[in-house]
Each structure stands twice: as structure tokens, then as C-alpha cells.
A = this chain, B = another copy of it.
Amino acid sequence: MAMLPLILFVVVSATVAGADGAVASGPLPHPLDPLSAVELTAARAAVLASALVPARPINFHYVGLDEPDKPDVLSYACTPNNTSTSILPRRALVVARAGGQSHELRVDVTDTSAPSVLSHAVHRGAGFPMFTVEEQVAAGELPPQYPPFVDSLRRRGLAPDDVGCGVFSMGWFGEGGAGKARRTKLQCFVFGGGGATTANFYARPLEGVTLVVDLERMAIVGYSDRVVAPVPKAEGTDYRADKVGPPFTGPAAAPGVVVQPEGRGFHVDGRVVRWANWEFHVGFDMRAGPVISLASVYDADAGRRRRVLYRGFVSELFVPYMDPEEEWYFHTFMDAGEYGLGPAAPSLELGADCPDNAVYMDAYYADGDGNPVKVENVTCVFERYAGDVAWRHTEAALPGQVVTEVRPDVTLVVRTVATEFKTVGTIKCVVSLSGILEMKATSYTHADQIDVDAHGTLVAENTIGVNHDHFITYHLDVDVDGTDNSFVKNTFVSTRNSGDPATGGAATPRRSYWTVRREVAETEADGQASVNGAPPAELLFVNPSRRTKLGNVAGYRLVPAGATAASLLADDDFPQRRASYTKKQVWVTPYDRAEKWATGMYAEQSHGDDNLAAWSSRNRGIKDTDIVLWYTVGLHHLPCQEDFPVMPTVSGGFELRPSNFFERNPLISTRPPGNGNFQNCSCRAG
């Protein structure tokens, strides 16, 4: 995941699906499979043929699976070895712009030869759908034809061919209301000039120049050339292997390859993955990227498969920058809602992004004309052998022997935004940030020259890496062993020992201990939590109707794994109003199929009136019902020189870990490694 907003400067390298993608035959789709190329094509045809959208042209901003109702999907999924020849209806949700309006259409594509529009609505509220790739490219091509811009370049000694411009979403800062024109800002970078070339043009911003584009008219309607800063040098910015060496002076590790002598341990059937005790479906959405659905774990003691997660995906990435100046104040990107994680997802490099033992999956999304675009190898699945231990114990106290039992830890990784499944029943989600910083050009060449707040760090000559945050919000429709769940806060409470049994104390000199105050959340107000709060608490999703044989309530526990920053913006600041949920890491809402996107369906220039916090303010009941966990991974990023020219990976995430879900450690009865000879159970004379 890049540090940059998901700005596209030219068309990405995905290929428009050809004839092979158009073949209609094949196995029946899983009800949560993303729309195929044929289905995307059918949805497009139905929209173009519909009288409900008379205006032309029609631009397709979002096309995704309109999922069947949850009970229908569960019914399908809970039928063992489903061999039904009838499928659930296949429907597309299309958000298209035509005649200056945002149209929402639901299209039945079950029969791709006769698709039909089921419903149509015009969005009248604030906000706009995601940009199309095509309009980003078209907008980026406008400046070289715009005389004031060419003049600005000339004053800087640059030619139009030397620069490229990209769409930087302008956010919302209190202006206008619904129905205003759809505009965006452009900012530009120096690709060449003066003989310099670098793939890392982000390091060479054309500082001080901002353009405003009316996206409907595709015309420049605002221009500002406010300040001039030196264009940072290209030297030292490139990261391509053939530019940095040979010689390669960086540290070198010996190559390593994972070999699986018995082959892979998992099976992929369509988009359903089965591994060890896990089964789940891997979907894809052009806004969210990968979607994990219907994750269930086999419980050997219970002799059955038990549900854990109905659906999990990244709902939004909010990335506010911390420079209030004219060219930077609006840098408050919502990467999923404004740009879409799907078109931005690169094809994974075999053997580099994922190890050699990985399996890859492709995906399709719709381009601005509604045609399917294929992204090959967008997701990989592999077993991870990191040399970790799942559990161990050495026992030296038994007469005449020493027992050592160790089980290696193997994890199944589903990567794009990485999700790991552990045999112990844990699901772990990790976000890894790498890529290129957003950089501001400056006259500074040494830190000693900086005597005002530079809003960042001097990471190279004439280059400030600007302070910013990352807030990655997961939509996690956790279903612990069934649909109806409750949210429990187990608060650790410091307790005084009175020392007197007459008052409930223990007659010992111990003065204090902690105990647990268990609170079951009744309404959404109880469902909000900060994971850094005092006193500390464990947060669980439980199924009140499922208890272990010992009577403990079956649950899954949320375990943050670093990156627990919350937003520091003022509550009344406009970006914060749009992403108001980023002040707390945890929100729990009742399941509502319309509530998928934390910043609302129309995130671009949204006003915050249709976001997660707005829904939650209705304070609906969340006890013993179908509930959804929203978890935000947050990082404050104060850049340092090591982040230049490409930043090393930093990671954060969380785990969903079983807590009284199983009767006991589910790995106790796992065969130890080796050939079944218990070679890791050593019994030696003590």
C-alpha cells in the first residue's frame, strides 16, 4: 500500500478483457464471487439500454456485486457439498454519472444474455462517487494546453513535456451544498528536464502550482501559481535496480526458498480456499480490494465447522496531511472512497511480492466505459513458514525423562491487504505501508535553515516529507458461531483487598489485585471504544447462545497489534467531520447491508452526514443480534530520511483470536512435525 494517495497519472497496465473473458459457460458462481467479465459486460449493456438514464455520455464510476441477502448466502453456504444447479440471483450495483447526476442502478445479470435493470435512483445528497481512471487521465492531460500553466513552466525553465499532473481530491471545506459542480484539484510533478530522469517524479513536485478542474466539462476552472520553490534534484531519488547498481552496495542476505515436499496444504475451488481447519471465500471489489467472506473453522471436538467472519474488507483509508498551507491543506485523502483500492491494486510479482509457493488469483473491475478490466495476480495465497512456534513446553520434572513438545507455526496468508489464518483459530489482518512519501518542494537544503514549522522533515535537499496519518478502517462482519452476537468489554479493574474476610477480602497481606468488570454493550453508544483507554479492557464478540461444556460463552477477542493511533484533528475541522469515526478505533453497529463504506457511499467531497459515526449516532440496539465490528488501524507518520526515496515497510494490524470458543487449545491434537515418528517428542534420561 503506497504512502501516496492512489493517484493515477496514466492508464494502469491492466488489460481489457478479451474474448476469453466473454465466454459465458463455466462452473456456477459462488454467490459472493465478484462479477465476471461477462457479467460486467451484461450490466453495462443493460444500463446503456435503459431509458432510466437518458443523458449521455454515461460514465461508470463503480460496478460491483450487489450481494444476495445474508440469510440467502448463509443458507447456500451451510448446505454441505452444495451441488445445487440453481444459483442465487446475480446482481450488479452500478454507480454512473450522466447529465451531471449520480445514478444508482441495480441490474440483474443472472442471465447475462438478458440483463435487466431492477431499480434506479438519483443521488441527491452531498458527495460524489469514486473518480474513474479515464477522467483522472483526461484531467491530467489538460494543463499543458492551458496557457497560464505553460507560462508558469516557462518561468521555471521547464517545458510542458517535462511535467505530469494528477488528480488530487479536493475534499470538502464547508463550501456549497448538494448539487454543486464536481470539481477536483490537480498537482504536477517534474518527470524530466535538464537531462534528469528518475522513475520517482513524486520527489520532484512543481511546488506552488494548483489547478482546479471541472470534471463534468473537463476544463480548467481555477489556477494558482502562488509560490516558487526549487525543483528537488533527481539524483539519489531513483529506486530501480538498474539505476542503483551495479555495484549493489546495500546489505545482501542469502536467497532462501520455501519447499513443500508434500505440496501445498491448501486447495482452491473457484474462489473458496480450504486449508487445515479453515474455509473461506476470497472476493474482490473495485472500491475495497480483496474481500474475505464466510470464514469458518472446523472444531474437531465439536465435530463441525463453526462460523467466525461473514465478511471482512477494508472499508476506507483516510490519509490527512498536516500542512495547512494553500497547496497542502486539502490533502485529506479517502483512498478507497475517492480512488478505489481495486484499480490501484498492482499485479503481484511472482516470487517477490509473494514467495514461490504462492497461488495467485485474478480480478476484474469496470473501466469508465463499463467494460471489464482484468488485473492478473491481484491476490496471492500461500503458507507461511516463518520459523515460529505455535506452542511448546519442556517438562523436566517427570521422573527419569525430559519431555519437550513443540509444534511449528504455519500460517495461511491471503495477501493484497494481508490476512493471515492460523490453525489455532486466529485471523490476523496486517496492513503494510511501503511506497513513496508525499513530498513538498522547499528552498531548504539543511535542517539548520528551518526556523518555522516546516510541517515535516527535510528528507533530501529541497524536499520535505510532509507529516500525515494513515487510518485504515476494516468492516468486519464477525459472526461468532452464528449470526446473533453481542459485544463485550472486559475491563481490568484495580481492586483493593480489605484483608478482612468479613468484608469479602482475603486475610492475607496482599493489598491489591485486578479483577474483570464484564459489560455487555446494549446500544451503539456502548459499542465505541478506544483501545488505548484507561483502565485497559479486552474487547470481544461473543455468541450468548453458544457456551462451552464448562459454561463459558463462546467468543472471539480483538487484539490490536501496534498502530493504534487516533486522529488528532479538531472535531470541527472539515476532514475530521468527514472521517469523524477516526477518533476511536472500535465501533460496533447492527448489521445493515447498506452500511459498507465508513465514509459513506459518496465519499468524494462528502460532508460527513452519511458516515459510520452518523449511523452510529442513531444508537440502535446491538445486543444479541447481527452486529458488525469496525476497526481502524492508525499510524502517525513523522517522516525520516530512511523513508526516502522509497520507504521501508511498516506494519500494523490486529488479530481476532478465539476466547472460550473451543473447549481447549485446538492444536493439542495436531500431529507433530516429522514422519509421524514423534521425532520432536524427545524422551531422554534426565
Contacts and interface: CB of A to CB of B under 8 A. Distances in A.
A676 B393 CA distance: 44
Given A395-B199, A397-B166, A642-B666, A513 B387 contact: no
A328 B37 CA distance: 65
Contact of A241 (B259, B469, B681): B681
A181 interface: no
Interface in A324-383: 324-326, 329-330, 346-347, 349, 351-355, 357-358, 382-383
Contacts of A538: 636, 638
A240 interface: yes
Given A405-B241, A434-B389, A512 B668 contact: no
Contacts of A641: 548, 550, 552, 660, 662-664
Contacts of A191: 398
A534 interface: yes
Contacts of A354: 387
A534 B566 CA distance: 10
A255 interface: yes
A649 B390 contact: yes
Interface stretch (A40-48, A66-74, A455-463): A455-463
Contacts of A329: 497, 506, 508-510
Nearest to A244: B669
Interface stretch (A10-18, A27-35, A51-59, A99-107): A10-18
A486 interface: no
A671 interface: yes
A672 interface: yes
Interface string A465-497: 001010000000000000000000010111011
Contact of A199 (B398, B461, B670, B674): B398
A195 interface: no
A119 to B, nearest CB: 35
Contacts of A662: 641-642
A515 interface: yes
Contacts of A670: 248, 250-252
Contacts of A261: 255, 257
Contacts of A257: 258-261, 385
B259 A259 contact: yes
Most B-side CB within 10 Å, residue of A266, A460, A510, A568: A510
A12 B396 contact: yes
Contacts of A598: none
A458 B551 CA distance: 9
Contacts of A131: none
A9 B323 CA distance: 62
Nearest to A324: B506
Contacts of A357: 256
A253 B636 contact: no
Interface in A381-409: 382-399, 402-409
Nearest to A353: B406
Contacts of A413: 387
Interface stretch (A142-150, A570-578, A607-615): A570-578
A325 B506 contact: yes
A481 to B, nearest CB: 14
Given A512-B570, A536-B565, A645 B665 contact: yes
Contacts of A496: 570
A275 interface: yes
A424 interface: yes
A432 interface: yes
Nearest to A565: B536
Nearest to A358: B387
A423 B649 CA distance: 12
B351 A680 contact: yes
Contacts of A490: 638
Nearest to A320: B513
A550 B461 contact: yes
Nearest to A415: B387
Contact of A13 (B245, B396, B576, B638): B396
A671 B252 contact: yes
B256 A259 contact: yes
Contact of A383 (B256, B276, B436): B256
Interface in A637-655: 638, 640-649
Given A276-B252, A352-B673, A458 B258 contact: no
Interface stretch (A88-96, A285-293, A554-562, A620-628): A554-562
Contacts of A406: 349, 352-353
Interface stretch (A110-118, A215-223, A445-453): A445-453
A511 B494 CA distance: 40
Contacts of A493: 568
8 contacts: A250-B423, A254-B410, A258-B387, A323-B513, A392-B649, A426-B648, A467-B516, A512-B570
Given A239-B668, A459-B550, 6 more contacts: A239-B391, A241-B680, A248-B670, A250-B671, A253-B275, A389-B432
